Amino acid sequence: MQTLSRPKLTLKRPMPGSSATSTTAQEALARARFWFVWCPTASRPKKRHASAEAAYAEATRLRGIDPDREFLVFGAHCIGSAG
């Protein structure tokens, strides 16, 4: 079974509300409100995960069930609410 690892990336523009000129991906992901797992060749994400670890665990579980598919983990920020 393949283990997922977090990439070392740097975002070239600041996150909303940040005065920094550069934010590392790790810093941005640490501020995520929720996480989800998406497979580009399957249906849309169905569950919000409260932590990165939970989302990575789910992606790893899904990869074990269907090793031929790619599973992506996203951290999401809520900018506003509809209501």
The whole-number pLDDT of residue 81 equals 58
> For 14-39, what is each residue's pLDDT tens digit?
555 555 545 666 676 667 788 999 99
Number of independent structural domains in the chain: 1
The whole-number pLDDT of residue 69 equals 94
Name residues whose C-beta falls within 8 Å of residue 17's C-beta, 6 or more positions apart in sequence. Answer: none
Q: Is residue 16 part of a domain?
A: no
Could you give the count of Cα atoms lying within 13 Å of 52 in the half-sphere of its Cβ?
Answer: 15
Instruction: Report the share of the chain in percent with pLDDT over 90.
Output: 39
The whole-number pLDDT of residue 25 equals 65
Q: Is residue 31 part of a domain?
A: yes
- For 42, the domain range is 21-76
Q: Is residue 82 part of a domain?
A: no
Q: Is residue 6 part of a domain?
A: no
Name residues whose C-beta falls within 8 Å of residue 41's C-beta, 6 or more positions apart in sequence. Answer: 69, 70
Q: Is residue 71 part of a domain?
A: yes
pTM summary value: 0.59
